[in-house]
C-alpha cells in the first residue's frame, strides 16, 4: 500500500482544483438538468406532445369535412382550421408557416369531394416550414396514411356499387333465361295436351293461361349497406394491429427524459477525467515531483497505481453523484438492478481511468493535453451516442459506435434503466468495457515515462 | 569512514558520454561540494549516486549497500533536494511535507512530530497552512529542503539549493546545513556560488566534461593558485620561447597559461609579480592593453581549471 500517500495527495489536489470540479461535476449536472427539462415534452413528461397543423378547406363538402374528421382522429396531430373565429384562407398559408405558428399548412382543394367520389386523383396542398422539416415530414406521412384510408373508402363504395350492379344483372339474366325456358316447356306441354285432347272425340282444345312472373329483382340496398359497413370496419379496424411493449420486464415503466440524459451525460463527462489525468502527469513531470517521488523508496508500479486510483475513484464518484441527483432530485427511476448499475459504473470508471493513463503517457505539453484529450473525449462521446442517440444514427455509424467504450457503457445503462434488465443481462457490456480498459492500460504502461 | 564510494562510474545516453569514469570517496559527516560549469555532469552524477538514474558502468556503494542490488535500502538512507522546486504549489507546506514524509513510511504521530520539527528548523511553522504557491522563492527553497529531511536521512544530496533566493533565506539554508553538519550528516552539495562552496564544503570536486578534474579540501585546492593569477591582454601573440624566458627570469612565476593574445601567470604574490612582469614585457617591446588580477579563490581556480575564460 505504498501508493496510498500518492492516492490521498492526488485526491486532495483534484478536490482543490475548482476547474476540475466544475467540469467533472457541475457541468454534467447542468447538462442533465437543462437537456432533460428541454426535452421533457419529447419524453411525454406531462406536456401536450401533439403537433398542430393549419388546415384550409376550400371544398367545404361532406367529403372534405369527413377527411378533416379522420385527420383529427390521428394521435399526436391537432388540426386547426381557424383562428379567433376566422376560418383560414388559402392566402393565409404562407403567413401561418413563416410566423412559426405551424410546421405545416394543408390545403384541401376545391372539387375534393367530387373527385374523391368519382375515383379521380386529387392533390392536397402542403406548405412546410423548412426549419421544422423533420416534424413536417412526419406529418406528411400521417397525411398520406389518412388520405389512402379515406380514398379507399370511396373506392370500396364504388366497387360495392359496381359489384351489386353486376350481381343484379347476372341474377336478372338468369331469371329471364329460366322464365323463357319455363315458357317454352309450358308451351310444349300445352301443345301436347291440346293434341291429346283433340284426339278424343268431343275433345276441346287446350288453352294456356298466361303466367305472371313474380320476380321483382334483388334487394340490393341492404346488401350494399352491409358490404359497405364491413368494408369500413375492415379499414377502420384492420385484422393486423401492433401492440407496443416497453422493454422485457413487467415492472418496466416508460423512459423519462432523465433516464435518457443521466446515463448519456454521465458517460460523456466521466471521460473528461482524461484531461485532468494528463494535466496531473504533465505537472508532475515538469515540476520534478515524479523524480522526487522516485527518489523515495517507491517503485514505478506503486507510482503508476497511485496515480491511477484517484482517477478511478473520481469517475466512480461522478457516476454516483449523477445517478443520485437523477434519482433523488429529479425522481428518476433507477430500474430494477442497482447491482447492474454498480457493475457498469465500475467498468466505465476503469475504462475512463485507463484512457486517462493512456493520454497521460502520450501528451508532452499543455497544448497537447487540451487538443488531444478534447478531441478524443468529444469524438468518442459523439460516436458513442452520448450526444446523439444511437438509434437515430445510420447503420454504419451504429457499427462504428461499437468501437467506443461510450456506446457499451451507455447501452448498458439504458438496458438497466429503460429496458428493465438486470446484472446478468449486461455482462457483455461490462466485459467489453473491461477489455477496453485493459487495452488502454497496456499501451499506457508501454508508453509511460515518469522522468521525461 | 567512507560512506560513499564510487569507482569508474560512467553514464552514456547512446553515443553521448556524459560521465566518463569518476572515482570518488566521500567520508561520513563531510560536506562534499561538486563544482562545475553548466553541462559538466553534476546533476547526472548526483542522480546516479542517489539511485535515481541507472549507472551505465562502474561501482557505487552507499553506506555499505551496492547501488545495483539495494536501491530501496539506499533510498531509505538518503534525502534528495532537487534543483527545481519539486513541491505541489496548490497544497500548503504541511500537506506537502506530510506527503513526502509518508512516502518514507512515516505515519500519524511520528510524521506530525517530524513536520513540526522541520518547519521550526526552516523557520516556516507560522506559514505552514499557506499554499506553497503563495510563498516567496526563498521560502519555497526552504520547504524544498525540508521535504528531503523529514525521514532523517544519513546522506543528503543538495542540487544547487540556494539558486535565486533572497539573502535571508540563503542564510537560513546555511544555518540548516551547519546544523546538519553538526548532526554528522553527509551532504553532497552542488552550487555555482564559489564563496558558498568554500564556506560550506570540507572537500570539493571540480567537474568538467564528465570528469573530475580536481578534488581536495578547500585549503588544498586554493594552495594550487599560490598568490593568485595575473592575466595580461596583449596587442600581439607571444611566442612560447619568450614566455619561457620570462618564467625563467622571475621566481615569482609558478605556472604560465597561454591562449592567443592573452597570457596568464600563477604567481606567488600578485603585487610584486605585476611590476616585474610588466617590466619584462615592456623590455621585449610587447604592448599590454590591460591586466586582470585574480586572487587565489575557488572562482579563480574554477576558471583556471575549466579554462572557460582563457579559452574564449
- CATH number of domain containing A115: 3.40.1710.10
Cβ-defined contact of B104 to A12 (cutoff 8 Å)? no
Of A307, A425, A355, whose CA–CA distance to A11 is shortest?
A307
A182 with A110, same domain: the answer is: no
Domain count, chain A: 3
Q: pLDDT (tens digit, 9 = 90+) per residue, B31-51? A: 999 988 888 888 899 999 999
**Gap between the Cα atoms of B309 and B292, Å rounded:** 12
Cβ-defined contact of A297 to B72 (cutoff 8 Å)? yes
Residue of chain B with shortest Cα separation from A300: B52
A269 with A402, same domain: the answer is: yes
**What's this model's pTM, rounded to 2 decimal places?**
0.71
Q: Quick one: pLDDT at residue B312?
A: 30
Last residue within a domain, chosen from A238, A268, A297: A238
Residue of chain A with shortest Cα separation from B145: A292
Question: At residue B252, does pLDDT exceed 90?
Answer: no
Question: Mean of the pLDDT values across residues A431-438?
Answer: 96
Strongest mean pLDDT among A122-131, A292-301, A356-365 = A292-301
Q: Quick one: pLDDT at residue B86?
A: 94
**Bridge partners for B187 per DSSP:** B31, B156
Cβ-defined contact of B88 to A291 (cutoff 8 Å)? no
- Residues of chain A contacting residue B72, judged by C-beta atoms under 8 Å apart: 297
Q: Quick one: pLDDT at residue B300?
A: 85
For A179-194, the DSSP string reads HHHHHHHHHHHHHHHH
Q: Quick one: pLDDT at residue A250?
A: 46
Report how far apart, in Å, the C-alpha atoms of A320 and of each of A191, A263, A343, A349, B286 are. Answer: 110, 11, 12, 11, 88
Q: How far is B126 from chain A (nearest CA, A)?
A: 22
A287 with A326, same domain: the answer is: yes
Question: Mean of the pLDDT values across residues B133-154?
Answer: 93
Q: Which structural domain range is residue A176 located in?
A: 167-238
Question: Mean of the pLDDT values across residues A181-189?
Answer: 87
Q: Quick one: pLDDT at residue A205?
A: 78
| Four-CA torsion B279, B283, B289, B291, nearest 10 degrees | -20
Q: Quick one: pLDDT at residue A162?
A: 85
Of A407, A314, A408, A302, whose CA–CA distance to A353 is shortest?
A314
A209 with A123, same domain: the answer is: no
Name residues 63-102 of chain B within 8 A of A (Cβ): 72, 75-76, 78, 80, 82-91, 95, 99-100, 102
Q: pLDDT (tens digit, 9 = 90+) per residue, A45-98? A: 455 557 888 899 999 998 889 888 888 888 888 889 888 888 888 888 888 877
**Gap between the Cα atoms of A372 and A11, Å rounded:** 24
Question: At residue A424, does pLDDT exceed 80?
Answer: yes
Q: CA triplet B308, B311, B312: central angle to 5 degrees?
A: 90
Question: At residue A195, does pLDDT exceed 80?
Answer: yes
Instruction: Work out the percent of chain A whose per-residue pLDDT is above 90.
Output: 29
Indicate which of A19, A297, A300 best probes the interface with B, i.e. most B CBs within 10 Å of its own CB: A297
Question: At residue A124, does pLDDT exceed 90?
Answer: no
Cβ-defined contact of A296 to B103 (cutoff 8 Å)? yes
Q: Quick one: pLDDT at residue A365?
A: 85
Residue of chain B with shortest Cα separation from A294: B52
Give the confidence band of B76 by pLDDT, cuts at 50, 70, 90: very high
- Among B86, B102, B103, the residue with its CB nearest the CB of A288 is B86
Of A369, A378, A358, whose CA–CA distance to A271 is shortest?
A378
A307 with A439, same domain: the answer is: yes
Q: How far is B78 from chain A (nearest CA, A)?
A: 8
A189 with A293, same domain: the answer is: no
A64 with A208, same domain: the answer is: no
Does residue A394 sit at the B interface (CB-CB below 8 Å)? Answer: no
Q: Quick one: pLDDT at residue B132?
A: 95
Structural domain includes residue A191: yes
Cβ-defined contact of A8 to B99 (cutoff 8 Å)? yes
Of A297, A448, A307, whose CA–CA distance to B52 is shortest?
A297
Q: Quick one: pLDDT at residue B129?
A: 94
Q: Quick one: pLDDT at residue A451?
A: 65
Question: At residue B123, does pLDDT exceed 70?
Answer: yes
Q: How far is A291 from chain B (nearest CA, A)?
A: 7
Low-confidence winner among B3-7, B77-81, B204-208 (lowest mean pLDDT): B204-208
CA atoms within 13 A on the CB side of B192: 8
Structural domain includes residue A20: no
Q: Quick one: pLDDT at residue B259?
A: 66
Cβ-defined contact of B52 to A295 (cutoff 8 Å)? yes
Cβ-defined contact of A5 to B103 (cutoff 8 Å)? yes
Does residue A19 sit at the B interface (CB-CB below 8 Å)? Answer: no
Strongest mean pLDDT among A127-141, A375-389, A430-444, B168-182 = A430-444
Structural domain includes residue A34: no
Cβ-defined contact of B76 to A297 (cutoff 8 Å)? yes
Grid cell for residue A187: 308451351
In the block, residue with C-alpha cell 585546492: B221
**Gap between the Cα atoms of A305 and A288, Å rounded:** 19
Neighbours of A53 (CB within 10 A): 23
Cβ-defined contact of A295 to B51 (cutoff 8 Å)? yes
**Bridge partners for B11 per DSSP:** B19
Question: At residue A261, does pLDDT exceed 60?
Answer: yes
Does residue A1 sit at the B interface (CB-CB below 8 Å)? Answer: no
Does residue A298 sit at the B interface (CB-CB below 8 Å)? Answer: yes
B168 alpha-carbon distance from chain centroid: 21
**Gap between the Cα atoms of A253 and A247, Å rounded:** 9
Question: Mean of the pLDDT values across residues A433-446?
Answer: 94
- Residues of chain A contacting residue B100, judged by C-beta atoms under 8 Å apart: 292, 296
Structural domain includes residue A10: no
**Gap between the Cα atoms of B51 and B73, Å rounded:** 10
Are residues B3 and B155 in contact, defined by beta-carbon separation less than 8 angstroms?
Answer: yes
Q: Which residues contact A152 (CB under 8 A, 6 or more apart)?
A: A235
Question: At residue A255, does pLDDT exceed 70?
Answer: no
For B20-76, the DSSP string reads EEEEEEEETT-EEEEE--TTSSHHHHHHHHTTSS--SEEEEEETTEETTT-HHHHHH
Average model confidence (pLDDT) across chain B: 88
Sign, Cα dihedral of A312, A313, A317, A318 = negative
Structural domain includes residue A380: yes
Question: At residue A344, does pLDDT exceed 90?
Answer: yes
Q: pLDDT (tens digit, 9 = 90+) per residue, A160-171? A: 888 888 888 888
Q: Quick one: pLDDT at residue A143?
A: 86
Q: Quick one: pLDDT at residue B17?
A: 92
Q: pLDDT (tens digit, 9 = 90+) per residue, A274-314? A: 889 888 988 998 899 999 999 999 988 999 999 999 999 99
A284 with A339, same domain: the answer is: yes
**Gap between the Cα atoms of A107 and A64, Å rounded:** 11
Question: At residue A251, does pLDDT exceed 50?
Answer: no
Question: At residue B309, does pLDDT exceed 50?
Answer: no
Instruction: Work out the percent of chain B whose per-residue pLDDT is above 70.
Output: 97
A271 with A420, same domain: the answer is: yes
Q: pLDDT (tens digit, 9 = 90+) per residue, B153-188? A: 999 999 988 888 888 888 888 999 999 999 999 999
Grid cell for residue A150: 379515406
A232 with A277, same domain: the answer is: no
Give the confidence band of A44 by pLDDT, cuts at 50, 70, 90: low
Last residue within a domain, chosen from A238, A271, A287: A238
Q: How far is B302 from chain A (nearest CA, A)?
A: 29
Neighbours of A281 (CB within 10 A): 23
Question: Mean of the pLDDT values across residues B229-235?
Answer: 85
Of B252, B247, B257, whose CA–CA distance to B305 is shortest?
B257
Grid cell for residue B158: 543538495
Structural domain includes residue A339: yes
**Gap between the Cα atoms of B119 and B92, Å rounded:** 12
Q: Which residues contact A321 (CB under 8 A, 6 or more apart)?
A: A25, A29
Last residue within a domain, chosen from A238, A266, A282: A238
- The more confidently predicted of residues B125 and A363 is B125
Burial class (CB in 10 A: 0-12, 13-18, 19+), B47: buried
A234 with A382, same domain: the answer is: no
A64 with A104, same domain: the answer is: yes
**Gap between the Cα atoms of B230 and B292, Å rounded:** 6
Structural domain includes residue A274: yes
**Gap between the Cα atoms of A342 and A383, Å rounded:** 24
Structural domain includes residue A197: yes
Amino acid at each position: 500500500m505504498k501508493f496510498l500517500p500518492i492516492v490521498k495527495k492526488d485526491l486532495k489536489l483534484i478536490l482543490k482544483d475548482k476547474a476540475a470540479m466544475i467540469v467533472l461535476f457541475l457541468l454534467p449536472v447542468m447538462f442533465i438538468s437543462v437537456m432533460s427539462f428541454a426535452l421533457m415534452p419529447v419524453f411525454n413528461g406531462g406536456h401536450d406532445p401533439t403537433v398542430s397543423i393549419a388546415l384550409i378547406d376550400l371544398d367545404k363538402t361532406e367529403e372534405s369535412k369527413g377527411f378533416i374528421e379522420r385527420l383529427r382522429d390521428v394521435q399526436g396531430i391537432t388540426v386547426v382550421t381557424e383562428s379567433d373565429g376566422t376560418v383560414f384562407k388559402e392566402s393565409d398559408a404562407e403567413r401561418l408557416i413563416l410566423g412559426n405558428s405551424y410546421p405545416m399548412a394543408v390545403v384541401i382543394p376545391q372539387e375534393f369531394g367530387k373527385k374523391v367520389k368519382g375515383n379521380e386523383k386529387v392533390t392536397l396542398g402542403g406548405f412546410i416550414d423548412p426549419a421544422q422539416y423533420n416534424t413536417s415530414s412526419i406529418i406528411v406521412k400521417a397525411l398520406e396514411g389518412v388520405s389512402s384510408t379515406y380514398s379507399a373508402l370511396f373506392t370500396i363504395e364504388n366497387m360495392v356499387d359496381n359489384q351489386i350492379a353486376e350481381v343484379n344483372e347476372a341474377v336478372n339474366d338468369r331469371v329471364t333465361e329460366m322464365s323463357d325456358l319455363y315458357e317454352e316447356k309450358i308451351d310444349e306441354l300445352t301443345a301436347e295436351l291440346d293434341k291429346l285432347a283433340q284426339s278424343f272425340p268431343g275433345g276441346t282444345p287446350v288453352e294456356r293461361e298466361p303466367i305472371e312472373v313474380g320476380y321483382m329483382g334483388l334487394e340490393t340496398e341492404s346488401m350494399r349497406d352491409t358490404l359497405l359497413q364491413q368494408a369500413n370496419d375492415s379499414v377502420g379496424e384492420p385484422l393486423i394491429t401492433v401492440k407496443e411493449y416497453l422493454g422485457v420486464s413487467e415492472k418496466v415503466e416508460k423512459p423519462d427524459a432523465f433516464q435518457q440524459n443521466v446515463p448519456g451525460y454521465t458517460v460523456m463527462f466521466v471521460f473528461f477525467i482524461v484531461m485532468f489525468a494528463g494535466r496531473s502527469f504533465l505537472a508532475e513531470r515538469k515540476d520534478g515531483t515524479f523524480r522526487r517521488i522516485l527518489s523515495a523508496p517507491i517503485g514505478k508500479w506503486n507510482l503508476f497505481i497511485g496515480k491511477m486510483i484517484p482517477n478511478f475513484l473520481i469517475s466512480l464518484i461522478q457516476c454516483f453523484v449523477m445517478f443520485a441527483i437523477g434519482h433523488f432530485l429529479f425522481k428518476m427511476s433507477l430500474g430494477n438492478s442497482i447491482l447492474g448499475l454498480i457493475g457498469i459504473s465500475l467498468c466505465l470508471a476503469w475504462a475512463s481511468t485507463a484512457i486517462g493513463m493512456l493520454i497521460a503517457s502520450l501528451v508532452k505539453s499543455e497544448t497537447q493535453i487540451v487538443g488531444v484529450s478534447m478531441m478524443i473525449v468529444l469524438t468518442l462521446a459523439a460516436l458513442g451516442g452520448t450526444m446523439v442517440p444511437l438509434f437515430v444514427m445510420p447503420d454504419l455509424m451504429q457499427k462504428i459506435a461499437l468501437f467506443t467504450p461510450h456506446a457499451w457503457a451507455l447501452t448498458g445503462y439504458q438496458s438497466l434503466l429503460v429496458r428493465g434488465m438486470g446484472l446478468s443481462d449486461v455482462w457483455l457490456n461490462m466485459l467489453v468495457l473491461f477489455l477496453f480498459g485493459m487495452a488502454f492500460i497496456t499501451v499506457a504502461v508501454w508508453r509511460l515515462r515518469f522522468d521525461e | 569512514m567512507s560512506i560513499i564510494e564510487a569507482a569508474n562510474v560512467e553514464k552514456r545516453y547512446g553515443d553521448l558520454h556524459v560521465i566518463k569514469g569518476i572515482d570518488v570517496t566521500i567520508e561520513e559527516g563531510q560536506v562534499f561540494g561538486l563544482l562545475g560549469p553548466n553541462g559538466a555532469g553534476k546533476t547526472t552524477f548526483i542522480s546516479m549516486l542517489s539511485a535515481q538514474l541507472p549507472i551505465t558502468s562502474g561501482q557505487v556503494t552507499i553506506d555499505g549497500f551496492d547501488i545495483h542490488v539495494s536501491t530501496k535500502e539506499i533510498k531509505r538512507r538518503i534525502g534528495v533536494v532537487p534543483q527545481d522546486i519539486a513541491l505541489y504549489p496548490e497544497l500548503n507546506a504541511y500537506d506537502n511535507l506530510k506527503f513526502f514524509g509518508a512516502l518514507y513510511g512515516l505515519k500519524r504521530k511520528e510524521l506530525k512530530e517530524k513536520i513540526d520539527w522541520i518547519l521550526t528548523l526552516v523557520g516556516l511553522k507560522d506559514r505552514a497552512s499557506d499554499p506553497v504557491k503563495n510563498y516567496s522563492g526563498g521560502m519555497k527553497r526552504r520547504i524544498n529542503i525540508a521535504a528531503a529531511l523529514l525521514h532523517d536521512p544519513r546522506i543528503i544530496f543538495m542540487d544547487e539549493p540556494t539558486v535565486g533566493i533572497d539573502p535571508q533565506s540563503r542564510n537560513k539554508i546555511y544555518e540548516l546545513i551547519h546544523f546538519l553538519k553538526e548532526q554528522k550528516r553527509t551532504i553532497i552539495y552542488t552550487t555555482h556560488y564559489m564563496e558558498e562552496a568554500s564556506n560550506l564544503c570540507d572537500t570539493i570536486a571540480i567537474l568538467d566534461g564528465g570528469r573530475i578534474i580536481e578534488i581536495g579540501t578547500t585549503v588544498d585546492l586554493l594552495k594550487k593558485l599560490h598568490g593568485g593569477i595575473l592575466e595580461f591582454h596583449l596587442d600581439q601573440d607571444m611566442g612560447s620561447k619568450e614566455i619561457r624566458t620570462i618564467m625563467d627570469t622571475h621566481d615569482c612565476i609558478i605556472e604560465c597559461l597561454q591562449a592567443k593574445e592573452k597570457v596568464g601567470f600563477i604567481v606567488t604574490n600578485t603585487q610584486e609579480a605585476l611590476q616585474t612582469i610588466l617590466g619584462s614585457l615592456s623590455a621585449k617591446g610587447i604592448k599590454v592593453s590591460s591586466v586582470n588580477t585574480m586572487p587565489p579563490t575557488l572562482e579563480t581556480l574554477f576558471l583556471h581549471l575549466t579554462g572557460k575564460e582563457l579559452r574564449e
